[in-house]
Amino acid sequence: MPELPETETIARDLHAAVAGAHILEVSVVRGDVLRGCTSNTLSERLRGLRIDRVWRRAKCVLLSCGGDTHLAVTPRFTGALILETSPTTDPYACVHLRLDDGRTLRYTDVRRLGTVALFDTGGLEAWSASLGPEPLDPAFTPERLSESLRATNRAVKAVLMDQKRLAGVGNIYANEALWGAGIRPARRAASLTRRESAALHHALTTVLHAAIAARGTSFRDYRDAFGARGSFATQLQAYGRGGAPCRRCGAPLATSHAIDGRATVWCRACQR
C-alpha cells in the first residue's frame, strides 16, 4: 500500500508536470472508486479547471483546481496515478483526466480498493483536521511524538500506523522506524522514555526522507507517476526480511501478525 514516501513522490512528480494545465474532459470508466460524488458530478466540477497544485496529505494525492475544488486520490493497495502522452489500453483504468496539452492523467486500480473523491475547501479542511500531524512537518517534534505515545497503552507500532495520531505512516515504515530506533513493536507506547521517543522520531524521519529520495518502495504494484518503480526495497532493514539475519546484531529476525493483523518484523535480540 503506498505510504507517505510513495504518495509524496507521485505528488511531487505530478506538480512539476501538470501544475498550470487545464482539464478538458473527465471520463469515468469504473465509478465504484468514486466517493461522495457521481460520474457526472466529477466531470461537471472538474471540466475546464486549471490544476493549481498537486500535493500530499497522509497517504492521499490531492489535485487542487480552480481555487475551491480538490480531487483526492487515495491509491491504497493497487491504485496508481499515471501521466501518459499517448492513449494506452488499460483494462484496470478507472478515471481519465484529459489535459489541454494532449496528455492524460489516468487513475488505474487492479483491485479497485482505492478511492477518488471531491472536496470543496471547507470539506478538505474538515477531512484534514480528522488526521494526525505530518511526521515530516517541522512542528512535529520529538516532544510532540512523546506526548502522543504517553497518552496510550496500545502497541507502539499500532500508534505509528494510526492515521488519527500520525498521518502517512503504514506498515513498511513503522517496521523500519522501530528497527532503526531499537524498539520492540509490541511495546506499550506509554512505556517509552523521552529518550526512546526521540530516537524513534529520528529513525522515522530519517527512513521517510531516505525512502522519498529512493522514490518509494516497490514490491509488486506501486509505480510513480511515470510508471517507474521505486528503489527503496534494497535498503529495507526489517520489513519483508523475516528469518533473515538482523543487519545490526546478526540474530534472525522474527515475524508476527499479532499487531492489527499486519506483518511485523523485528529483532528479538536488539529491539527492546
Tens digit of pLDDT for each residue in 167-215? 999 999 999 999 999 999 999 999 999 999 999 999 999 999 999 999 9
164 flagged as catalytic: no
Residue with cell 514490491: 219
176 flagged as catalytic: no
The residue out of 100, 129, 158 marking a domain boundary is 129
Tens digit of pLDDT for each residue in 226-251? 999 999 999 999 999 999 999 999 99
Residue 63 domain boundaries: 4-129
- Is there a domain that residue 213 lies in? yes
- Is there a domain that residue 66 lies in? yes
| 15 shares a domain with 112 | yes
CATH of the domain at 245: 1.10.8.50
- Is there a domain that residue 78 lies in? yes
The answer to whether the beta carbons of residues 19 and 105 sit under 8 Å apart is no
Given the residues 2, 5, 75, 185, select the one marked as catalytic: 2
The DSSP call for residue 30 is -
CATH of the domain at 50: 3.20.190.10
The residue out of 107, 129, 151 marking a domain boundary is 129
Question: Into how many domains does the chain fold?
Answer: 2
| 120 shares a domain with 170 | no
The residue out of 102, 129, 156 marking a domain boundary is 129
Residue type, position 70, single letter: H
Given the residues 59, 157, 184, 241, select the one marked as catalytic: 59
262 flagged as catalytic: yes
pTM (predicted TM-score):
0.96
- Is there a domain that residue 137 lies in? no
3 flagged as catalytic: yes
